[in-house]
Amino acid sequence: MPLTEEMLLDSLYHHSFKDMMNDVVAAGSCCECGTCVLVCPHNVIEYIDGKPKQTAKESAAFDYCGISEGVGCDVCATACPRLWPRESHLKQAVFGDQPEGYEGIFGNYRHIFVARTKQESLLDRAQDGGVVTGLLVWAREQGLIDGAAVSTVTDADKPCFPSPQMATTVEEIKSSSASWYTYVPNNLALEQAKEKDLKSVAFVGVPCQITPLRKLEYVDPSILMAAKKKPQIVSRQRGFLKGYVDRVNFSIGLFCTEVFRPELMTERIEQQMGIPLTDVSKFNVKGEVLIYKKDGDIARIPLEEAMHEYQRPECKHCGDFSAEMADIACGGVGTDRATIVVLRTQKAVDIWKQYEASGLVEVWPINQNKKAWNILQRLARRQRERPPQGPLRGASAPDLPQYSATREAELSAAAIAQTAKAPADIEACLDAAYLESPRPSGIMGYIAGQPIPGEPPDLGEGEKRKLPPPPTPEQGGASPCWQPAEA
């Protein structure tokens, strides 16, 4: 019987290990975040040469998982940021209960503004305004977090090649400031949080690392239901589905257009330019690649050259420039020693109010930096339009639905009802899957992803797009602590 459109869309709710390995890894869109390896409950895959590899059965095909095709699992595919639901399909789940927020081409938000740390010691090392490091240091000192998932160059790493680390002290957090523009699977640092039994951590990452955390947070645990499973297997799999993300207090997403292949460092900078990587203190991208040397000099590479010759091919599959799923998103586009800050969730607003009240940061409304606003608009739009169309499960096809936990639960219930599993066994497995979490009861009425206010219609050929103006402070264009000046 041929698949109907409804059946095809319903199948999106049930990705398998085989789907992930074929429609993502083999298709070339795997972003190398490592989340699938992190959350695999049965040690089927390992992170090898930047990709998940099936190592449980050497004689089996690369896309074979005995657990997936036997008792059932597929927690890995559920977390994958390159399978549906992607960022645009998660808006209903993540922001559907926040109708008082706003939406721009750079995603949903409550407030957007520019900020800079007042701590000069952080600015010396900072990428731009030192906001991310300053916020993490403050949060650790206040006991709000007991660690932060970051990337940093340790003594065990090669120069300019950081690794994922769980920073647990203020000094470790400070040493992680600045970006290196090579890909680091920060999600794997959450394994260290588990090993150290940290209960409340901050997670810092680029968009493709934030999205899998949101998927793990919002996906309905009913995906774990299967006819052959016993409650103890469901319980184990739930521990991996929800256990890591349950340790994350809040997330900070970093604006990102792309990162570069290692050859930018080893070939272009070290060999061709003759700059030992041990002499490099940090990098930045401001219309060109800036290489800061420890002696104070700055070397430069044209950005067009770096992107053409050294861009990671996996990055072309990303349509999220501004970390649309993060609690807080930050980036230095169009600013001078300052950071654009986007507060997307109420949690972010509550944290920022406390941080700003500490007196450690200064802020300006976004309409006082129109250049930064305009560049943010252009980069976010360009990236949204960048991903090539691929497999349906790869979610780059147009007009795919919003994710619904209610629909997930309905499909799982319908599937399990067609088996011989006894009602009491079904209920025992559901208890193991949900634990204390509420079960879905309805679909929210507010729909995120509606037409963006001030967004011009589609343009004709040769027409130039007019950018919407920055929001005023009253429209979310300032810190939540902003107060109008007295007359």
454 pLDDT band, cuts 50/70/90, is low
Q: Looking up tokens 């990102």, which residue turns up?
A: 256
Distance (Å, rounded) from C-alpha 117 to C-alpha 66?
51
21 in the same domain as 43: yes
Do 410 and 380 lie in one domain? The reply is: no
Domain-embedded: residue 461: no
What is the per-residue pLDDT across 110-139, written as a single tens digit (0 to 9) for each?
Answer: 999 999 999 988 987 777 899 999 999 999
Residue 191 has pLDDT above 80, yes or no: yes
* Among 97-101, 105-109, 246-250, the least confident range: 97-101
CA 442 to chain centre: 27
Which amino acid is it at 137?
A: V
Residue 74's CATH number: 3.30.70.20
pLDDT band at 53 (very low <50, low <70, confident <90, very high): very high
Q: Which residue has the higher pLDDT, 473 or 4?
A: 473
Asked if the model's pLDDT at residue 462 lies above 70, the reply is: no
Domain assignment present for residue 14? The answer is yes
Spatial contact of 42 and 67, defined as CB atoms under 8 Å apart: yes
User: How high is the pLDDT of residue 9?
Assistant: 60
Q: Which two tokens stand for residue 262?
A: 């290692």
Residue 143 lies in a domain: yes
- pLDDT tens for 11-20 read 789 899 999 9
Asked if 71 and 145 sit in the same domain, the reply is no
Is the domain of 338 the same as that of 405? no
Pairwise CA distance, residues 356 & 306, whole Å = 37
Residue among 218, 209, 284, 287 at smallest CA distance from 253: 209
| CB neighbour list of residue 411: distance below 8 Å, 6 or more residues apart | 10, 13, 14
Residue 135, domain member (yes or no): yes
Chosen domain end from 389, 413, 443: 389
Q: What is the pLDDT of residues 248-295, one digit of tens each?
A: 999 999 999 989 999 999 999 999 999 999 999 888 888 889 999 999
Amino acid 400: pLDDT: 82
Collapsing DSSP to helix, strand or coil, 249 comes out as strand
pLDDT value at 453 more than 70:
no
Q: Are residues 318 and 355 in the same domain?
A: yes
* pLDDT for 444: 45
Number of domains in the chain: 2
Mean pLDDT of 412-437: 92
Q: How confident is the model at residue 446 (pLDDT cuts 50, 70, 90)?
A: very low
If you average pLDDT over residues 218-226, what whole number do you get?
Answer: 95
pLDDT at 461 over 80: no
| Higher pLDDT pick, 485 / 355 | 355
Domain identity same for 228 and 318: no
Spell out the SS3 assignment of 193-215: HHHCCCCCEEEEECHHHHHHHHH
Range of weakest confidence among 45-54, 57-66, 312-321, 436-445: 436-445
Give the chain's mean pLDDT.
90
Same domain? For 257 and 397 the reply is no
Does a structural domain hold residue 480? no
Structure tokens at 63: 């896309």
The answer to whether residue 475 sits within a structural domain is no
Whether residue 34 is found in the same domain as residue 154: no
What confidence score (pLDDT) does residue 449 get?
47
| pLDDT score of 458 more than 60 | no
Q: Do the domain assignments include residue 44?
A: yes
Burial class (CB in 10 A: 0-12, 13-18, 19+), 330: buried
* Same-domain status, 232 and 129: no
Residues linked to residue 108 through DSSP beta bridges, in sequence order: 103
Shared domain for 180 and 315, answered yes or no, is yes
Q: How far is CA 478 from CA 253, 277, 330, 374, in A?
A: 19, 40, 14, 16
Question: What is the C-alpha end-to-end distance of the chain, expressed in Å?
Answer: 72
Q: Is 169 within a domain? A: yes
Tell me: pLDDT of 447 over 50.
Answer: no
* Residue 465 reports pLDDT greater than 70: no
**Secondary structure (3-state) at 122:** helix
Q: In the listed set 328, 357, 389, which residue is the last one of a domain according to the structure?
A: 389
My answer on whether 153 and 56 are in the same domain is no
Domain that holds residue 288: 89-211+248-389
Query: Can you tell me the mean pLDDT for 2-8?
Result: 52
Whether 171 and 104 map to the same domain: the answer is yes
